[in-house]
């Protein structure tokens, strides 16, 4: 990247990390070229030397943050293992780049179509029909990017609230929601559910 009008040089990684910081702090809806320039400490026009608008910025951030995600080849393993391997890689990127999930939701049909297609290809290879490929993808998408919505940063109950006994016992493990245990649990349930839906689809097809 070339020097901007103020004589400074911005790298792609600096722009990506600054954009992710804004999303992490204020949400993706607050990300703008002007807000990005403030985060970078440069003139309002400086980011335009690198990206044309917010849409291109979102594409840049998503592409850079997801670099390295590999799609397992069809012959490498059963569909369940290939799906898990692919989703695990995406989850690793989400953990490494807080705020990335909101960006991917914002531009779901942007330049990340290859990633969506990779997941859908595995589902189609498993035997899901087109309608259920979409439903299955939507379920996976919701799990990957929606988990943070049920995992608030402030995990403590208000002082004047008495938790039901079962809730009190369970919430002792609330830290697991941000950890590997909860992720693995959810993925195991999700894949088992997809397997069950394949059986149901097969029964429906023969009627």
Length of the chain: 207
User: Which pLDDT does position 1 carry in this prediction?
Assistant: 44
Six-digit token pair at 89?
A: 């890689």
Q: Percent of the chain having pLDDT more than 90?
A: 43
Rounded to the nearest integer, the mean pLDDT of the chain is: 86
Indicate the burial class of 40 (C-beta count within 10 angstroms; 0-12, 13-18, 19 or more): buried
Q: How many CB atoms lie within 10 A of CB 88?
A: 13
Average the pLDDT over 74-78 and give the result: 94
In angstroms, rounded to a whole number, what is the distance separating the alpha carbons of residues 205 and 32?
Answer: 49
User: Which pLDDT does position 18 carry in this prediction?
Assistant: 92
Six-digit token pair at 188?
A: 């195991």
Average the pLDDT over 5-17 and give the result: 73
Average the pLDDT over 50-75 and give the result: 87
Q: Provide the whole-model pTM.
A: 0.80
Q: Is the pLDDT of residue 3 over 50?
A: no
The tens digit of pLDDT for each residue in 190-206 reads 999 999 999 999 998 77
DSSP-assigned letters across all residues of 156-202: PPPTT-PPPHHHHHHGGGGGGGGSHHHHHHHHHHHHHHHHHHHHHHH
Report in angstroms the alpha-carbon separations of 185 from 21, 151, 176, 188, 190.
Answer: 29, 15, 10, 5, 9
Q: Is the pLDDT of residue 132 over 90?
A: yes
In angstroms, rounded to a whole number, what is the distance separating the alpha carbons of residues 160 and 164?
Answer: 13
Between 80 and 46, residue with greater pLDDT: 80
In angstroms, rounded to a whole number, what is the distance separating the alpha carbons of residues 187 and 89?
Answer: 13
In angstroms, rounded to a whole number, what is the distance separating the alpha carbons of residues 6 and 111?
Answer: 31
Q: How many CB atoms lie within 10 A of CB 71?
A: 17
The tens digit of pLDDT for each residue in 28-41 reads 888 889 999 999 99
């Amino acid at each position: 990247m070339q020097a901007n009008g103020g004589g400074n040089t911005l790298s792609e990684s600096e722009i990506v990390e600054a954009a992710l910081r804004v999303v992490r702090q204020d949400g993706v809806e607050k990300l703008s070229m002007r807000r990005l320039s403030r985060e970078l400490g440069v003139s309002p026009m400086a980011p335009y030397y690198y990206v044309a608008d917010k849409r291109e910025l979102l594409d840049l951030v998503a592409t850079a943050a997801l670099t390295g995600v590999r799609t397992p080849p069809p012959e490498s393993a059963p569909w369940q293992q290939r799906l898990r391997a692919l989703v695990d890689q995406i989850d690793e990127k989400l953990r490494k780049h807080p705020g990335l999930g909101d960006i991917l939701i914002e531009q779901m049909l942007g330049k990340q179509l290859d990633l969506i297609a990779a997941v859908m290809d595995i589902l189609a290879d498993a035997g899901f029909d087109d309608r259920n490929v979409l439903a299955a993808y939507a379920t996976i998408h919701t799990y990957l990017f929606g988990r943070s919505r049920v995992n608030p940063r402030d995990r403590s109950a208000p002082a004047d609230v008495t938790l039901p006994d079962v809730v009190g016992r369970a919430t002792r493990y609330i830290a697991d929601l941000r950890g590997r245990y909860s992720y693995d649990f959810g993925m195991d349930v999700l894949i088992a559910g997809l397997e069950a839906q394949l059986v149901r689809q097969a029964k429906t097809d023969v009627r």
